[in-house]
Amino acid sequence: MPHPDRAEFQDRSARLLDTSLSAEELTAVRRKERAYLAGLVARAQADPGEDMLGMLVREHGDDLSTDELIGVAGQLLLAGHETTSNMLGLGTLALLRHPDQLAMIREDPARIEPARFPGLALADPYEQVDFRVFSVVFGLNSLRVTW
């Protein structure tokens, strides 16, 4: 992602994951994100750079449609951004909650690998629950069924 676009992307990412948005607001944000990604893909198709999207176009551009490239780019950007930034935050919090581990790493940075943070392995870097509930009502003989 071009550096100048990062702040806007972070804002859009937060809005895409905001469960309080109305369906209309979410649709508008998704359209804006798709238009942005379409621009990135078009640039990569015209001149594949050395970044991940350029590699994707070079190695799979003949196998994937433009819509598929846009979808993959969106998944890579959003999932990569959210999980990475959230895990960095969780790791920082773990170090602050376990000063003995922080001291060990400060003393010898090579010991980052054996540092242990209870619960970090179980932490979910992407805590969004988005329930979609629907029901279908139909008649079966004289029985009314809701599914």
User: Could you read off the pLDDT of 81-133 as tens digits, one per residue?
Assistant: 777 777 788 888 888 988 998 898 899 888 877 566 555 555 555 555 454 44
pLDDT at 40 over 90: yes
Residue 68 CB neighbours (<10 A): 13
Measure the CA–CA gap between 111 and 134, rounded to whole angstroms. 51
pLDDT computed for residue 137 by the predictor = 54
* pLDDT > 90 in the chain, percent: 34
Does residue 53 have a pLDDT over 80?
A: yes
| Per-residue pLDDT at 32 | 94
137-140 and 143-146 beta bridge pairing = antiparallel
How far is 105 from 108, CA to CA, in rounded Å?
5
pTM here is 0.64
Q: Looking at residues 8-21, what average pLDDT do you find? A: 88
Give the N- to C-terminal CA distance of the chain in Å, as an integer.
43
- Predicted pLDDT of residue 122: 52
pLDDT of residue 65: 93
Structure confidence at residue 120 (pLDDT):
58
Q: Check residue 140 and give its pLDDT.
A: 56
* Dist CA 13 CA 30 (whole Å): 10
